[in-house]
Amino acid sequence: MGNRTIYGPVPSRRLGYSLGIDPIPYKTCSFDCIYCQLGRTTKKTIRRREYIPTSKVIGELEEILARESTIDYITFSGSGEPTLNSQIGRMIRAVKYITSIPVAVITNGSLLTLRSVREELRIADLVIPSLDAGREQTFQKINRPHARIGLKNVIDGLIQFRDVYPGRIHLEIMLVRDVNDTEEEIDRIKELTEDLKPDLIELNTVYRPPQEIAVRPVSKRRLTQIRQKLGAKCKIVAPFRRRGRAYREDINELIREILKRRPATIEDIAKTSGLNPSMVIKYIDQLIKLGEIRIVRFRATRYYAID
């Protein structure tokens, strides 16, 4: 069964009920962030092409929209960097043609240096780029970018995008303890945010178990200090609290069934179930919180298991 390119809707901390569009094959990305929940990047690239056909994405979307009513956002994100799909602009236009639900794009921002990408994202309602470092050294350490991407490219792209983009920009900063939470780093990030002029700054930390053992969350106290330093536009991304339907029990059951047979990675579960890896992560996260499954590490790979 091939993985679907549309997943959800899933409850999202930031976007309410978000229907995800994943226009990129698993772990095709221009970065290899140390905190990435999807694991190591298997294809690190800056080459844009139509990795997943627009017709497949839009066909699946139409099918889901016909039966789902609780969707707050349609969000391009998923298993890698969505702007690597050269047809993302066409996809956003097609989504806008078939529904009035707002469109968000979650991006690492590395390709905003390209005029074509800036143009393609212009009609999205919300763009959520990330910026995790104020200095090149930290950028290399936390985001492990493609060799042709430096922090300066990312910053220049973000500034140029702000100049042409009429919608909302929510800048996400993912904080990792002892990596990018020092005073010096935060001072530099603050200077940059003044140039980037986002509508909102979202502070995040590794709430979900990270892939790399050395990656640890920043304490609530430190998050609060950093929020105060970054000013009134900054908020800490809070856990999702909305009432009503959340996770689908049939999907929980499917994941339990797979794990009852043997421990599996996110990718294994996605392949066996046909679910999108990003959706699997959300459900795994919830099952861990419920104490139903546990993490097992074997030879630097993270597996999930059920007792």
| Site residues for ligand SF4 per CB under 6 A | 29, 31-33, 36, 38, 41, 80-81, 108
Query: Tokens representing 151?
Result: 């922090």
Instruction: Report the 10 Å Cβ neighbour count for 90.
Output: 15
End-to-end CA distance of the chain: 27
CB of 132 to ligand SF4, least distance (A): 9
Nearer to ligand SF4 (CB atom), residue 33 or residue 133:
33
CB of 137 to ligand SF4, least distance (A): 18
CB of 180 to ligand SF4, least distance (A): 13
CA dihedral 233, 238, 244, 249 (to 10 degrees): 140
CB of 23 to ligand SF4, least distance (A): 13
Q: Omega of the bond prior to 9 within 30 degrees of 0, cis?
A: yes
CB of 43 to ligand SF4, least distance (A): 11
Quote the CA–CA distance of 124 and 262 in Å, as a whole number: 41
Nearer to ligand SF4 (CB atom), residue 42 or residue 252:
42
Nearer to ligand SF4 (CB atom), residue 34 or residue 226:
34
Nearer to ligand SF4 (CB atom), residue 36 or residue 223:
36
Nearer to ligand SF4 (CB atom), residue 29 or residue 74:
29
